[in-house]
């Protein structure tokens, strides 16, 4: 459970977005910006251009309302009913135009957000779910835990909030430019008497608005420091809690068998206590900034009236000009207050961007390490001949602890090799051949023209139809019904024939022994010539294990078979045995023993799979010779 917890001081930089060189923004743009240069670039650029035009159109509405406000209050002050009615009609037109612009803007913005998220999700998924990177990255140091949450949730926040923040910032900049000009013209000559000295400050209302907004922004940023840290901390603990629940769901059978529910509830309670503590810290930070912004928003409503009232009282301006000045001041101050209004959203966005970048950086480092090809990585190459060759192979853990040292061997086409002894070393040897374990040194030559098939202890059964689970990694339509039925009958799973098109989480439905038999049915369909079996019979009874091994012997007489197993009965089906024994200094010594193969008890003739297939096709197999 400790692995689920991430110390705050080990997480990403949580300095505020504003007031610091935003290097993380540049890194995010380097990762996500190519969307506008991708195959979808014309759609992305078109939507962006339309969004910009609509944002400009959105700014027209408050400008028109500002001019309308002056005319309205002047008409009210002068008791002009006809002008008042005209202004009411004009207000309706402004409202309808704003409704149309806002609706289209929302639809376009959401299309752009979805397209960007889809592209970035596919980009990160391609990096993660390729060449075993999703497995290898779990052994890499750094802040990249819970990749599922980073891909599903953090990419969503990173893309949606980026567009929301960019739109609101652009909108506020347009407001600032427009209403600075309006407020400057409404400021008048700006003449003041101070101690008998006449002072003239052109555009004095603009300077007052700038000073007013600067004070508010500075206080908000100061209060926002704890909020940024709290948001990141909460997201980390929320992800840990989700991961704990998912892990328990995946291991529910083991928990139920050992009656571990009480301890799981305790673990969930501990994780949720972390979530609650992070929530409370965020609440405290939000409370402080909310108290300030609520006071500031009320003050912002009255402050421009206070500033302009002396000129109205003195008769220098009309009531309409006073209200226009107040609205222009509020619009300009609102635009300048963008950091205050968006601090919480920016904090959440930054935390999500850092989490996406953490996963991306880990995958990038992993790809560089694997492809580096230096003496500290295992080199994999084609042998140019039908052999699997290990040359001075040393296999390490990611922390450089040696697991296997100086192993050299050749395994030829058609050999049957049993690997036993130290289980961790045996499995790592398979992972090296599968290009999943680059840590170590030496060279491995893979057989040419080989179709390699790995059978793990439990076959991966994707959620979907049983037909799709059998055909995996090919699609559910890759094999005919007759082939699938023959494969199931050959491994003794006749009782599953009626469920081929049922959709289930099959690893939760099928017993462990039947899952392993299902793995052998998958083997029959794919017909490889190099087969790696990793304890894929340990859930079967002795009779079932012998049945599966005889099936493999009969169906693949020319194939090379390497089996990791620890049952003495398996030796009868292999001519050669590699025994891995851990030495006192921690290394693994490998003993290579050869023996004469036991004669097969199976009759010569078509294998069980082909016999079943021919029967289904309505043909006779003839008497075996």
In our burial notation (b when 16+ CB lie closer than 10 A, e otherwise), range 429-461 reads bbbbbeebbbbbbbebbbbeebeebbbbbbbeb
Sign of CA dihedral 439, 444, 449, 451: negative
Res. 13: pLDDT tops 50: no
Q: Which of 155-169, 182-196, 406-420 has the lowest average pLDDT?
A: 182-196
Q: Would you call the peptide bond into 473 cis, given omega within 30 degrees of 0 as the criterion? A: yes
- Domain 21-371 identical in fold to domain 379-616: no
Q: What pLDDT was estimated at residue 11?
A: 37
Q: What is the 3-state secondary structure (H, E, C) of 435-495?
A: CCCCEEEEEEEECCCCCEEEECCCCCCCCEEHHHHHHCCCCCCCCCHHHHHHHHHHCCCHH
Strands (DSSP E) found in 337-451:
379-382, 387-396, 402-412, 416-421, 440-446
Rounded Cα–Cα distance for residues 218 and 297 (Å)? 15
Identify the residue with better confidence: 458 or 15: 458
DSSP letter for 377, please: B
Q: How sure is the predictor about 611, in pLDDT bands with cuts at 50, 70 and 90?
A: confident
According to DSSP, the residues that pair with 443 across neighbouring strands are 379, 391
Rounded Cα–Cα distance for residues 345 and 289 (Å)? 13
In our burial notation (b when 16+ CB lie closer than 10 A, e otherwise), range 520-554 reads bbbbbbbebbbbbbbbbbbbbeeebbbbbbebbbb
Give the model confidence (pLDDT) of 529-553 as tens digits: 999 999 988 889 989 999 999 999 9
Q: What pLDDT was estimated at residue 339?
A: 78
Res. 3: pLDDT tops 60: no
Once rounded to an integer, what is the mean pLDDT over residues 473-484? 90
Give the model confidence (pLDDT) of 171-206 as tens digits: 999 988 888 888 777 776 655 555 555 656 666 777
Res. 521: pLDDT tops 60: yes
What are φ and ψ of residue 530, in 5° steps?
-130, 120
Domain definitions of the chain by residue range: 21-371, 379-616
Rounded Cα–Cα distance for residues 197 and 568 (Å)? 107
User: Strand, coil or helix: what is 594?
Assistant: strand
Percentage above 70 pLDDT, the chain: 89
Contact between 299 and 326 under an 8 Å Cβ cutoff? The reply is no
Identify the residue with better confidence: 555 or 589: 555
Contact between 143 and 12 under an 8 Å Cβ cutoff? The reply is yes
Once rounded to an integer, what is the mean pLDDT over residues 305-313? 74
Give the model confidence (pLDDT) of 254-265 as tens digits: 788 778 888 888
Res. 162: pLDDT tops 80: yes
Residue 493, number of CB atoms within 10 A of its CB: 19
**Total-model pTM:** 0.71
Contact between 458 and 250 under an 8 Å Cβ cutoff? The reply is no
Rounded Cα–Cα distance for residues 324 and 77 (Å)? 14
Look up the CATH number of domain 21-371: 1.20.1560.10
Q: What pLDDT was estimated at residue 375?
A: 64
Rounded Cα–Cα distance for residues 63 and 178 (Å)? 8
Quick one: which H or E segment has residue 197? Answer: strand 197-200
Distance of CA 506 to the CA centre of its chain: 25
Give the model confidence (pLDDT) of 197-246 as tens digits: 565 666 677 787 788 878 877 787 787 777 767 877 887 888 888 888 88
Q: What is the DSSP string of 224-277?
A: HHHHHHHHHHHHHHHHHHHHHHHHHHHTHHHHHHTT-HHHHHHHHHHHHHHHHH
Give the model confidence (pLDDT) of 384-401 as tens digits: 788 999 998 888 888 888
Once rounded to an integer, what is the mean pLDDT over residues 17-42? 79
What are φ and ψ of residue 578, in 5° steps?
-105, 120
Residues 379-616, CATH architecture: 3-Layer(aba) Sandwich (3.40)
């Amino acid at each position: 459970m400790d692995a689920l917890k991430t110390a705050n001081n080990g997480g990403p930089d949580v300095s505020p977005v504003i007031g610091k060189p935003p290097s993380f923004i540049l890194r995010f743009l380097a990762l996500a910006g190519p969307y506008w240069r991708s195959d979808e670039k014309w759609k992305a650029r078109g939507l962006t251009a339309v969004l910009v035009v609509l944002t400009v159109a959105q700014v027209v509405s408050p400008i028109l309302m500002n001019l309308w406000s002056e005319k309205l209050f002047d008409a009210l002050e002068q008791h002009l009913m006809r002008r008042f009615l005209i202004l009411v009609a004009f207000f309706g037109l402004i409202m309808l135009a704003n409704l149309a612009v806002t609706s289209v803007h929302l639809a376009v913005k959401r299309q752009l957000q979805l397209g960007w998220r889809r592209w970035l999700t596919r980009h990160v998924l391609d990096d993660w779910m390729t060449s075993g990177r999703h497995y290898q990255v779990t052994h890499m140091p750094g802040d990249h835990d819970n990749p599922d949450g980073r891909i599903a949730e953090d990419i969503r926040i990173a893309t949606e909030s980026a567009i929301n923040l960019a739109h609101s910032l652009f909108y506020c900049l347009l407001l600032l430019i427009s209403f600075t000009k309006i407020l400057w013209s409404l400021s008048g000559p700006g003449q003041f008497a101070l101690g008998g000295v006449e002072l003239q400050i052109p555009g004095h209302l603009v300077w007052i608005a700038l000073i007013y907004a600067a004070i508010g922004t500075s206080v908000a940023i100061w209060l926002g420091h704890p909020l940024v840290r709290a948001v990141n901390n909460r997201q980390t603990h929320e992800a840990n809690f989700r991961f704990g629940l998912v892990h328990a769901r995946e291991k529910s059978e083991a928990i139920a068998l050992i009656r571990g529910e009480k301890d799981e509830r305790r673990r969930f309670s501990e994780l949720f206590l972390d979530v609650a503590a992070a929530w409370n810290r965020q609440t405290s930070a939000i409370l402080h900034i909310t108290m300030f912004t609520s006071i500031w928003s009320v003050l912002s409503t009255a402050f421009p009236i206070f500033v302009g009232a002396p000129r109205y009282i003195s008769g220098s301006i009309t009531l309409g000009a006073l209200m226009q000045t107040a609205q222009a001041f509020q619009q300009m101050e609102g635009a300048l207050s963008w950091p205050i209004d968006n601090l919480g959203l920016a904090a959440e966005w930054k935390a999500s961007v850092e989490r996406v970048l953490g996963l991306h950086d880990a995958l990038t480092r992993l790809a560089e390490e694997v492809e580096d090809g230096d003496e500290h990585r295992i080199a994999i190459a084609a042998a140019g001949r039908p052999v699997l060759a290990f040359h001075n192979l040393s296999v390490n853990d990611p922390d450089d602890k040696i697991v296997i040292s100086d192993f050299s061997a050749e395994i030829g086409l058609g050999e049957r090799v049993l690997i036993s002894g130290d289980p961790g070393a045996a499995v790592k040897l398979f992972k090296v051949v599968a290009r999943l374990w680059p840590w170590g040194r030496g060279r491995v030559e893979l057989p040419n023209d080989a179709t390699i098939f790995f059978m793990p202890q439990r076959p991966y059964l994707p959620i979907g139809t049983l037909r799709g689970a059998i055909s995996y990694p090919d699609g559910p339509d890759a094999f005919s019904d007759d082939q699938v039925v023959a494969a199931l009958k050959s491994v003794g799973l006749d009782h599953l024939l009626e469920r081929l098109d049922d959709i289930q989480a099959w690893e939760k439905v099928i017993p462990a022994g039947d899952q392993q038999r299902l793995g052998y049915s998958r083997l029959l369909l794919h017909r490889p010539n190099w087969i790696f079996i990793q304890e894929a019979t340990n859930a079967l009874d002795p009779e079932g294990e012998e049945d599966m091994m005889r099936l493999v012997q009969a169906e693949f007489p020319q194939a090379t078979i390497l089996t990791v197993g620890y049952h003495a009965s398996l030796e009868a089906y292999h001519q050669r045995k590699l025994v891995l024994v851990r030495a006192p200094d921690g290394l693994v010594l490998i003993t290579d023993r050869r023996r004469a193969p036991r004669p097969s008890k199976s009759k010569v003739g078509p294998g069980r799979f082909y016999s079943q297939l021919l029967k289904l096709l309505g043909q006779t197999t003839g008497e075996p010779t």
